[in-house]
């Protein structure tokens, strides 16, 4: 018996659904398709009313955006619409695990997601929040579009690796540093873009806290805050309760003040 001819108008996804690395069909999940045709898993945290601002959360190396649920919920309580995706090679997104041929792929994908959200919510200020590698991605994303973002919150941003960290991580950090510092020193980042709250743990075994000081010195913005948590480690938003509570309060206060100012159409 001869098989029926294949319908030429059937989309490839309908014939053979694209699956996440966990074998879940992307058609059942919120996702975007990047410029390389890779499927990226997305998450959205929406306030009950009309959002006051947008906030993109950029996760760190070897993790996924689902780990930022508590932080996102806190921002939602301030009236922000929070969105994120698993970077290429992470979580439920496609791509070889933690391997990317060009670090700017991460930046490009963030800008694609930001553009899509701003198209649906025109006129709202946009903030970036990044941890570790996600902090470096946030810095480079802001550098790509000076003046576009209302501010950044960086938690233990990857600028300088701790000398005691694994060699692979140090090599990765060196590559990031070569990307970040030229963007800073050449003044490609507008002062209003670099309004930020940076938090760092002094006992961070991955990212050297000297990187935060270096970033503060390089940033041209006058509106910048650095908070060092003595004895704390790398993941400050999942530290001991007293540290995490303090981190959340710092971010809450900082974002509240800047969304109020941004909402009035003034630079922070």
Longest alpha-carbon distance in the chain: 76
Euclidean distance between the first and final Cα of the chain, in Å?
A: 71
Token pair, residue 39, equals 């499927």
Backbone angles phi, psi at 65, to 5 degrees: -70, -15
Candidate list 204, 208, 209, 237, residue with the active-site label: 204
Catalytic option among 64, 87, 90, 234: 234
> What would the two tokens of residue 261 be?
């100012």
Active-site residue 132, yes or no? yes
Tokens matching residue 48: 């009950």
Quick check: is 156 catalytic? no
CB distance 25 to 32 below 8 Å: no
Q: How far is CA 225 from the centre of its chain?
A: 19
Confirm whether 195 is a catalytic residue: no
Tokens of 204: 């961070």
**Among residues 58, 93, 132, 209, which one is catalytic?**
132
Q: Which of 217, 215, 194 is nearest to 143 (CA)?
A: 194
**Which residues are catalytically annotated?**
132, 204, 234
């Amino acid at each position: 018996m001869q098989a029926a001819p294949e319908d030429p108008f059937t989309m490839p996804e309908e014939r053979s659904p694209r699956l996440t690395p966990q074998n879940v069909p992307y058609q059942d999940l919120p996702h975007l398709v990047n410029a390389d045709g890779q499927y990226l898993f997305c998450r959205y945290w929406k306030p009950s009313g009309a959002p006051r601002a947008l906030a993109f959360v950029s996760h760190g190396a070897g993790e996924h955006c689902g780990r930022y649920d508590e932080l996102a919920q806190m921002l939602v309580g301030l009236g922000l619409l929070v969105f994120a995706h698993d970077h290429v090679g992470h979580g439920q997104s496609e791509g070889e695990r933690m391997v990317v041929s060009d670090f700017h792929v991460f930046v490009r994908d963030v800008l694609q997601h930001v553009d899509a959200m701003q198209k649906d919510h025109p006129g709202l200020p946009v903030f970036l929040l990044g941890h570790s590698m996600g902090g470096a991605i946030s810095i480079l994303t802001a550098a790509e579009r000076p003046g576009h973002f209302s501010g950044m919150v960086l938690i233990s941003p990857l600028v300088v690796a701790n000398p005691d960290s694994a060699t692979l991580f140090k090599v990765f950090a060196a590559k990031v540093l070569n990307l970040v510092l030229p963007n800073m020193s050449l003044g490609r980042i507008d002062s209003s873009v670099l309004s930020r709250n940076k938090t760092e743990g002094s006992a961070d075994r991955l990212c050297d806290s000297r990187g935060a000081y270096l970033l503060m010195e390089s940033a041209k913005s006058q509106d910048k805050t650095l908070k060092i948590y003595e004895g704390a480690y790398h993941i400050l938003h999942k530290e001991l309760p007293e540290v995490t509570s303090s981190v959340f309060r710092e971010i809450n206060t900082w974002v509240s003040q800047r969304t109020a100012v941004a909402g009035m159409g003034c630079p922070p």
